[in-house]
Amino acid sequence: MKMNSFSKKELFLHIFSILSYQFNENFATEFLSLYEKMTFKFSKNTGKLKHIYANNILQANYRASLGTFSLTIDAAKRVLNKIKFPTFRVQVQSDVSEFIADGKSVFAKHVKTVDPNLRLGNEVFIVDEQDNLLAVGKLSLPPNYIPYFQFGSAVNVRQGINSKKAKKS
């Protein structure tokens, strides 16, 4: 079934259920708090949801192959302060904050704390020691492995707060 044939209520429930599964119901509620101001872009070929915008600013991309959303910095800025620490977060050392904010990957040896409920491949918010948002990305190591690694990436950063993509929006 093509998503662009859903009613506005059906689309809301569909997106809410995906976000609730991927994150939790509180996150889904916060993310969709601007639902009336959100617009949606659908694939011309398949009719599936591709992008979510709020006030004409990209908030999330839907990855149909995985059935999950990848979030943008703008969505993280809007939602992060409403989510209790350490939920969905990877906290890094202050001395690497600028590199992460520029969109560089998070190495395991620089991680201070990580939400223990995360799983490999989860969307995460990368924050500094004061819980300030630095970037969004995808967890590339299980949380319980991170303290034991001195080499390698713990999070593949998709977008930093200082990256070119973030500045355009």
What domains can you pick out in the chain, each with its CATH number? 3-71 (3.10.450.90), 84-168 (2.30.130.10)
Average pLDDT value over all residues in the chain: 93
Cβ atoms of residues 16 and 23 within 8 Å: no
Structure tokens at 135: 């970037």
What's the pLDDT band for 163 if we cut at 50, 70, 90? Answer: confident
Angle, CA of 111, 112 and 113, to the nearest 5°: 100
pLDDT at site 165: 57
Q: Tell me which of 2-6, 73-77, 88-92, 156-160 is least confident.
A: 2-6
Q: 104: which DSSP letter?
A: P
How many Å separate Cα 102 from the centre of its chain? 16
Answer whether residue 2 shows pLDDT above 70. Answer: no
What span, in angstroms and rounded, lies between the C-alpha atoms of 146 and 141? 6
Give percent of the chain above pLDDT 70. 94
Q: Under DSSP, is residue 164 helix (H, G, I), strand (E, B) or coil?
A: helix
pTM of full prediction above 0.95 = no
Phi-psi region of 157 (alpha: psi -120 to 50; beta: other; left: phi over 0): beta
**What was the pLDDT predicted at 29?**
97
- What residue type is assigned to position 160 of the chain? G
97 token code pair = 């904050």
Contacts with 164 (C-beta within 8 Å, 6 or more apart), sequence order: none
169 pLDDT tier (thresholds 50, 70, 90): very low
